[in-house]
Amino acid sequence: MLTLDRKDNTHPIADAQLAAGGGRIVELTGDTDWRQAKAAIAGAVRVDIRFPKFNDGRGFTLATQLRQRVGYTGKLRAVGDLIPDQAQHLIRVGFDDVEPDRKGFDADWARARTRFAHAYQPGQGNVTPLFRHRHKRPEDDLAALNARYRDLSPQDILRDAIENEWIGKIAIMSSFGAEAAVGLHMISQIDPATPVIFLDTGRLFAQTEQYQRQLTDQFGLSNIRLLKPDAEAVAEEDSDERLWRRDPDACCSLRKVRPLDAIIGDYDALITGRKRFHGGGRMSLPVVERINGRIRINPLANWDAAAIEDYFRRFDLPRHPLTDMGYASIGCWTCTAPVQAEGDIRSGRWLGQTKTECGIHTPAQVAAE
């Protein structure tokens, strides 16, 4: 086995399980339909894709589909009749290592995997394709993007972003909160395989978890990317489970910001569900912004409460179970209360504190709702 050294190919949990002789390994062939593969690889710590001939490209396609459409983030190994000249392409579609049938070419594989520093097309890992280096497109300019999207509906903005502007490098962040069904339903009408980033802080309401399952099933969302805080960091920094009370900013950093930071390099653009009518710092929210070099799209920025309600009714969307109890903005159960009298829609968040955003809404990060 030869490591391909993708920049992001660290799988310490899978490696530990495999080293201990445990963990399920699934082998697929290149003709496997990615939809069937999704069920087959559930719970696997490593997926092997077999190449019967070096000129059979189907394994490359399947690898791309597993990474981009299924959202598989575990170990991916290429097995079979492969030659060193294919090393770069294996890396670009997301393989972590290779087990070639032809032995004795280790030095050639090592040279081949670093032969080219650049790539022409977008791919896995953090290599910026050459066209992005060479050309500063008008679309890269925020003012041009905002002007282009200014008069478009949220649905048209999303369609352009997903199908044209950031193909395969875009995801939506969702809290599966009170208004989340609107954006998620729009996404499902365009491409239900669009990655949905869901931050499971370990402090979510049971109703939110149930609502997440309900919307996922009902809308046919096939690529939920569930992010959890690092277990060791939680044990070390929040051993008494009271960090949210002692230092909520540190708690949000531990349970939201850092898990998001760990995967943010996978995408060039992230969609959020924020709206101006939420008040506070969101009142001047643009449709498109750039945070830390990455695009954030807020397609619902211009919509008000009436437009959201109208969309819910038009498509008969299910409501979050807590909205009936007065919760209009829903985060962790420890830090969320019903909307306060005379308060704005987010007045129940971090009640009694000066904190108004969870920390991923700062200039360093931006998240949905």
In angstroms, what is the minimal distance from the CB of 61 to ligand SF4?
39
List residues near ligand SF4 by CB under 6 A: 201, 203, 244, 248, 251-252, 255-256, 331-332, 334-335, 358
CA separation for the pair 159, 302 (Å, rounded) = 17
Which residue is associated with the tokens 């699934």?
A: 26
CA separation for the pair 335, 212 (Å, rounded) = 19
Which residue is associated with the tokens 């643009």?
A: 286
In angstroms, what is the minimal distance from the CB of 335 to ligand SF4?
3
Angle in degrees, CA 53, 30, 187, rounded to 5:
150
In angstroms, what is the minimal distance from the CB of 123 to ligand SF4?
33
Comparing CB distances to ligand SF4, the nearer of 300 and 335 is: 335
Residue 358 bears catalytic tag: yes
42: left (phi over 0), alpha (psi -120 to 50) or beta: beta
Comparing CB distances to ligand SF4, the nearer of 185 and 282 is: 282
The single residue of 251, 252, 335, 358 carrying the catalytic annotation is 358
Q: Which of 177, 158, 181 lies closest to 314 in space, CA to CA?
A: 181
Comparing CB distances to ligand SF4, the nearer of 93 and 322 is: 322
| Residue 181 CB-density burial (10 A; 0-12 exposed, 13-18 middle, 19+ buried) | buried
Comparing CB distances to ligand SF4, the nearer of 180 and 269 is: 180
* 359 touches 252 (CB < 8 A): yes
In angstroms, what is the minimal distance from the CB of 298 to ligand SF4?
21
Would you please indicate which residues are annotated as catalytic (active-site) residues? Answer: 358
